[in-house]
Structure 1
Amino acid sequence: MARRQGTRSALICSIADQGVSAGTNIAVLIVAARRSDVHAFATFSLVYTVFTVLLGLTVAYVGQALVLEKDEPGEGRTVARACRSAVVFTALAAAALGAPAALVLWATGGTTAAALAALALVLPLALTQETTRYAFSILQRPQHALAADVLRLAAVLPALAVQPPGAGAPRLLLAWGLSALPALAVALWLLRRHTRGAGQDPGRYLRRDHLGRRFAVEFGVGNAGSQLAIIGLGLIANPLAVGALRGATTLYGPMNVLFNAATGFGPPLLNRVGEPRRAARAAGAAGGVLAAVAVAWTTVLVLLPDGYGRALLGDTWASAAGLLPATGSQYAAMALGTCGLLTLRVLRPRTTLPIQLVFSLVSVGCLLGGYALGGVLGAAWGLCLGSAAKGTASWVRAVRLLRSHPGPDEGVPLPVVRRLRARCGWSRSSPRP
């Protein structure tokens, strides 16, 4: 009973931590929009998107590999050592990247370069604090990650709110980054308590067999493509386009929380269903519910009076409001696509990477083509079209796999197959019942 309650508490803390982290990102963009004019927020959004890409790469290269660690037989400190190594590597790598980048960008001059330089200066703080969240997860201490993230939220909002009206993007970014110091200090103190004496080996993350390399490639082809296209759109075409797109997506922060929860907890739950067709139906039902929530949320935002909209996004509301139908349609398509990819991960995990690769490129093409044809609104509908194409391809592939009547090795998780073989005396050469 005590173990079950501990597992339940850990699950609640993990979900709450995910919500606090997502809520912090939403609040940061809303407060930044209210404290700056439309041009400053456009620059802030552009640079914050750069940070989002760097954060995703860090999570893929360090965090996702870290949570797969486990203590080796006879060595009870393997996980603790991996946690210390991950945090130290993130801090050193971010500093090695950020310090010279800040010098070069500051010497370049210009508002965008100065904002990027400010990001480079605070990059070690922000990325290291994120890595501690994954360390606490593998240490089965999600309550510590939750405590640090609550402190992060409590520090960043006042730090941004006290900035003068019309504050520039570099100043806002410095305030945002430096506000991570209290949360980082608490996280490092808690981490030291649970990993004292474990040692560290940050060089392990530079070895050729490091799993993070594969995860980083999957992130690059699956998620970073459209973000990089938006960054390129702001640098080459019009920074205001980034502000408008970012402002519209900020309003869909609650949907991002639901998507993250589905991605994190969906595969284990679907694996418990067992039979592939039942798992696919459950994923499809979840996708339908999430799509309906996206449509309902879009309806609420479209009917929102301008006064309330300006209270949320300031001057950016005027440009973001016109994108709401396109962005809402994109999130509805993303809901179905996300659950389609979850289905494929249960049926045959290797099929997701080709789909991510091909249709991420399709999304980038739709984004740029839409902007060429219809400006910012065209870019928003282009993103919607790309998401719909990826979702359609995911479910088409899932239906084909289900029609092929997969055997135990393909349709059931490998540990289940091994247990069935052990109980029933099956072998690979034995005829299947």
Structure 2
Amino acid sequence: MRARTAIVCSVADQGVAALTNILVLVTAARLSTVADFARFSAVYLVFTVLLGVSGAYTGQPLVLRRVGGEEVHGGSVEVRGACRSAVAFTLLAAAALGALLAGVCLPLPGATAHALMALGIVLPVVLGQDTMRYAFSTLHLPHLALAGDALRLVCALGALALQPYGTPAARLVTVWGLSALPALLLSAVLLHRGAAGTPLRLKVLLRRGHLGRRFVVEFAVGNATGQLSVLGLGAVGNPLVVGALRGATTLFGPLNVLFTSATGFGPPLLGRLADERSRVRAVATLAAVLAAVAAVWATVLAVLPDPVGRRLLGDTWPTAAALLPATGSQYAAMAVGTCGLLALRMLDPRTTLAIQVVFSLAAVAFLTGGYALGGVPGAAWGLCLGSGCKAVATWTRVARLRRRTAVERAPVSAGAVRPGSGSS
């Protein structure tokens, strides 16, 4: 498949996956009472966290296996075997975790416990199907991932549309989860055609040096610290800070999809480029493009008529709109920082953890300090400052790694050692 076609299929696949998540929540909201949708949303949040952990542990290390355009660790058979092993590991781990979750929630009373039990039952299906996407991306077959996700979108919306209004949260979770089964089976058949007979090595994913462990920590630090700090400010300070910041970031949801796609599915596409220098330059170009998209999107939101904004966020719109300059600047900085992390993943994936930890904590400090100095707008600018510092740090590290690599690869000049230049 040509690189341009692969990029189009990969971007389309991310769009379909994001659209599925959005439409599932919208459909569930229209089918549920306020209480049942709250339960469904809570369970869906648990699923989102588990999905992120699964992608960090198995998916992201998998897509790094072919950076450089060459099959690593023994050739294409080994790479296909790694994809098969990742899918099998995810299915087994999800089945064990799902059984534990269902078993714990079974004796508990309440509709939320029943919904969590339903999530435990369908967990292998939804996590297994997601890991298939990483496998196809690693094998440079994004059109197969797109086919599976398109089928999942159709099945999910069709199955949910058949449910009556007032459907309990547990039933909605079950229907949503099992609707991914056709996509999982289709993806399994397509993957089996190319990976049948390849070595199945599950113990590799449990070894101490497995990159997935570092990526899980990065995911936890990068996603948990910011959200917990915002909640903390709402608890000890002004509760409006939570709604305002969450409302503003919700408006930039499409950019979050682009950022996730870049780090999760960018390495196989960039691996098609010939050398390290070309890949870093391509990532720098991507950073500029994403930052420009963030700026344009912020401008579009800023000029929205007030009635349109209120239809989007209701009474939260005025406070969220006041934060658009800060949040738009933050997302432009996040675009640069995300691409910097992508470049580091390709150069040396073990260098990203320290940056994530240090600057996630720095963002919390800037958030708190900004709120103390300027209230909610100050908190938003504090988050922007944290993202900007992180972007500078990532690209500074990229430049240092590039210089180190250039020095290591520099050839020794024949003229450096001339006849007669030694001691007499």
Partner of 2:401: 410
Structure 2 residue 105 is the aligned partner of structure 1 residue 109: no
- What letter is aligned with 1:217? V
- What letter is aligned with 2:54? T
Partner of 1:122: 122
Partner of 1:237: none
C-alpha contact (below 8 Å) 1:337/1:392 kept by paired residues: yes
- What letter is aligned with 1:192? H
Give the Cα separation in 1 of the matches to 2:173 and 2:49.
16
C-alpha contact (below 8 Å) 2:291/2:331 kept by paired residues: no
Partner of 1:157: 157
Structure 1 residue matching 2:183: 3-state secondary structure? helix
Structure 2 residue 25 is the aligned partner of structure 1 residue 22: no
Partner of 1:53: 49
Partner of 1:169: 169
Please say which of residues 173-182 and 126-135 is displaced more in the overlay.
Answer: 173-182
Aligned pairs, number: 402
Please say which of residues 195-204 and 328-337 is displaced more in the overlay.
Answer: 328-337
Give a deviation string over 1:336-368, Cα, whole Å, max 9, x none: 123135346658967653342244346568889
Give the Cα separation in 1 of the matches to 2:111 and 2:369.
28
Give the Cα separation in 1 of the matches to 2:29 and 2:202.
38
Residues 68/399 of structure 1: CA separation in 2 closer, same or farther (3 Å cut): closer
* Sequence identity percentage: 46
Give a deviation string over 1:225-249, Cα, whole Å, max 9, x none: 4457789999xxxxxx999987876
C-alpha contact (below 8 Å) 1:23/1:253 kept by paired residues: no
C-alpha contact (below 8 Å) 2:248/2:327 kept by paired residues: no
Partner of 1:135: 135
CA positional deviation for 1:174: 1.7
How do 1:65-104 residues align onto structure 2 when only pairs under 5 Å count? 65-69=61-65, 71=71, 76-104=76-104
Residues 274/66 of structure 1: CA separation in 2 closer, same or farther (3 Å cut): closer
CA positional deviation for 1:123: 1.0
Partner of 1:201: 201
Partner of 1:337: 334
- What letter is aligned with 1:42? A
Partner of 1:313: none
- What letter is aligned with 1:333? Q
- What letter is aligned with 2:301? T
Give the Cα separation in 1 of the matches to 2:25 and 2:370.
25
CA positional deviation for 1:144: 0.8
State the Cα RMSD in Å.
4.5
C-alpha contact (below 8 Å) 1:326/1:381 kept by paired residues: no
Residues 361/318 of structure 1: CA separation in 2 closer, same or farther (3 Å cut): same
Partner of 1:44: 40
Give the Cα separation in 1 of the matches to 2:339 and 2:327.
18
C-alpha contact (below 8 Å) 1:45/1:243 kept by paired residues: no
Structure 2 residue matching 1:69: 3-state secondary structure? helix
Give a deviation string over 1:81-109, Cα, whole Å, max 9, x none: 11111111101111101112112123222
C-alpha contact (below 8 Å) 1:159/1:175 kept by paired residues: yes
In the superposition, the TM-score normalised over structure 2's length comes to 0.76
Partner of 1:289: 292
Structure 2 residue 64 is the aligned partner of structure 1 residue 64: no
In the superposition, the TM-score normalised over structure 1's length comes to 0.75
Partner of 2:238: none
Give the Cα separation in 1 of the matches to 2:256 and 2:17.
11
Give the Cα separation in 1 of the matches to 2:90 and 2:194.
19
- What letter is aligned with 1:410? L
Give the Cα separation in 1 of the matches to 2:248 and 2:25.
11
The gaps in structure 1 that reach 5 residues or longer are 235-240, 310-316, 372-376, 428-433
Structure 2 residue matching 1:107: 3-state secondary structure? coil
Partner of 2:385: 389
Residues 129/400 of structure 1: CA separation in 2 closer, same or farther (3 Å cut): closer
The gaps in structure 2 that reach 5 residues or longer are 235-240, 417-424
Structure 1 residue matching 2:150: 3-state secondary structure? helix
CA positional deviation for 1:190: 0.6
Give the Cα separation in 2 of the matches to 1:122 and 1:45.
16
Give a deviation string over 1:238-263, Cα, whole Å, max 9, x none: xxx99998787665432223323454
Residues 160/362 of structure 1: CA separation in 2 closer, same or farther (3 Å cut): farther
Please say which of residues 51-60 and 163-172 is displaced more in the overlay.
Answer: 163-172
Match of 1:32 among 28, 38, 45: 28
